[in-house]
Structure 1
Amino acid sequence: MVLGLVLGAAGCMRSADPAGTESAESRPPTSERAAPEAGQPPSYAAAETAADSPTAPATDRASEQAAELAAEIPVAEIPAVPTPWRQTQPILPAGPGRPSAGLVVVPLAQDPAPAAPAPSPADAPAPEPPRCTTPPFAAAPPPEYGSGIPAMRLDVVPAWDLQTPAGLEAAAAVEWWAGNGPTHVAAAAQRALADAAAAPDEVSRDAVLVGFLADGLVKTKTLQDRIAAYQTIALGVPAVAQAAQAPLDSGDPAVVAEFLRRGQYAAAVEGAAETSRGAVLRAAEGALADGTREALMEFLRTGMLEAQAANDRQSVYALLAAATPAVWAAAQDALAAHDPLVVVEFLRAGQYAAAAKDACA
């Protein structure tokens, strides 16, 4: 960089004559020239003396002048400042008609970080609303309506209880079983009819039909009831599945038929009584005390559901004793609807929503 500035200075020296016509012959001799001014580097005199030699090419004189200037011109010290800077004046030796020597370092102004504007009252964030917390309260128990009712087939008639209508001949009796019997019994009767139709004579045909009514029908009805008993196990009612094991293990078709006729319903009611309370428990105990097939099925069909609705209403009444205003009003509305599903919804979610409303009031 310094060498470039020196070469620029040499160019300035050659351009002292505006017309560019000054030659070595027109300049005064070296002895007649004025001594260097005070403060002027002595190298200028040597450079001008070298320039007087007519035999030296101009380029050689410029190179010698540049080398001498580069060796003697002091390098300006740049202040160690962290701010950007720029050079506003070139480094030139002092002399007549030349700029002042030195390096002027001017720090560039840096834009300060913009200060965050003070928030105006209109821009100030709104205060957060107070958070509502639902205080703990004595909530009513979950609803019971429609829960825990055994999913079972009611009014099951064991195949063992079915009898052939009186007064029918063998062929008509088999045809009746083919059209009215349970699934497996009807299928067996249809096969017997097909075998009878393929018999070579009437005697053989009657033998096939009578043999089915005397032996095949009993075996088929026994198989039908055992399949039905196994199907009750697949219902997933623990009490019923446990009660079905003993009849199946006995191998007695009459015992299996009794389980299908009444035993499965009694087991379902006993299971409901073990896991219920209040009105449901009382209704289950009443059905078991009666013990009839009709009483047991009536409990499973409608009695248990009605008792569950009564338990749910009782839970709402118990909640009224210590209810907050919103809870009390919501409970009254649920009771006034006289709809068990409305009471269920109140116990499931309505009571908690009303309690939250009281907390934020």
Structure 2
Amino acid sequence: MSSRTEMTNGLDRRNFLRGAGGAVAATLLAGTAAEAAAQNLPKGGTPEPITHAGVKRALSDREKVARIASNSYPIRWIFKNRGNVGDKPTVDKMQAKYGSITMLDFPAFTKKTFEGVTKMDMWSSLFGDANDESQYVKSTIYGYDGKPRDITEFDPSKPNSRKWLERMAAKQKAEGVFCHHISNNAPRDICELDETKRRAGVEVAKKWLDGAAIIGAKSMRVNSGGPRIAPWPEPNETSYPKNPKIEEYLTKCIESFQEMAEYGAKLGVKVTLENHWGLTANPINIKIIVDEVNNPYCEASPDFCNWEHKYLLYHALADLAPYAHTTCHAKFWDRWENPDVQRNVRIMLNSGYEGVFALEYEDGPWDGIEGAQYLYREVMAAL
């Protein structure tokens, strides 16, 4: 079957409904209604319109849990790292409450904190042995304000880094909890117009894909790079706006993702695009890139809350959902007051999504661990 046929078959599933019925374990749902009332949060979610939907049997609790992944990002404060992560007061507060761990401890932490969960979404900034400088590279990045910032990042290609990855794989096997997805910030400049920078970004991604294969990841997010705010269209002599600049960035991004998808296919690791600012803040740009790349090893990994205005919160997710098959971020973020997690889960299911929901609490009334546990209950209820 051709790549185009496989992709089309995946997209044709958008009108397919997974049943939302079935009992949910009381231990998982205890406290959800009380928390919702206390925080003025949605209790049961709002109905999501369904048209031309099929029907599928309700999932068992075991099947529901199999579709959930823990996420290291919302609990980043308790990880030992090389100083890139978290403000000191928050780190001190969280570690005083929960202690500290390393990524090697994350499989056991997942098993203890999220009953039955056997999958993990691992954030790239928490990889490696923080005490072994040989595993890291230093670089300078520029923030949204244009100011430079020096950072230290894990380099999967270094000899001691490979040994660490092999240890991580052994830990996963021992605990029965495995890496499903890597949320990666390390590859940069993927759509950069400067060819030298773009090539360097793709090479970093390839090193990470090699590392992802060692620990058995099914997919890895790669950010598009480029301007944090996508170029705006400008009027021309016809008085109708054109946007040649965004075409240039999209062309470079498509070229990069084609190469990364071909490389990932050899390793069995997909590359994904998340709605993560810049080019990918607009879901149509992600759809363009995935369609143009036309490789089953390139797809979307939607995030429930990474949008630029409130009307995208549900409508843009519905547009992006058919392009996702492996991973999405089930996020709560009070940036949008009280986002309806269950409605977002149903949007994914109604589009035929059969992948994993990673519990990525961003910010709100709880700390990172409490927020992730809230998401666990909400996703289970919606499944």
Q: TM-score, normalised by structure 2?
A: 0.19
Q: Which structure has greater strand proportion?
A: 2
Q: Which structure has greater helix proportion?
A: 1
Higher relative contact order (CA 8 A, sep 6+): 2
* Bigger-Rg structure (1/2): 1
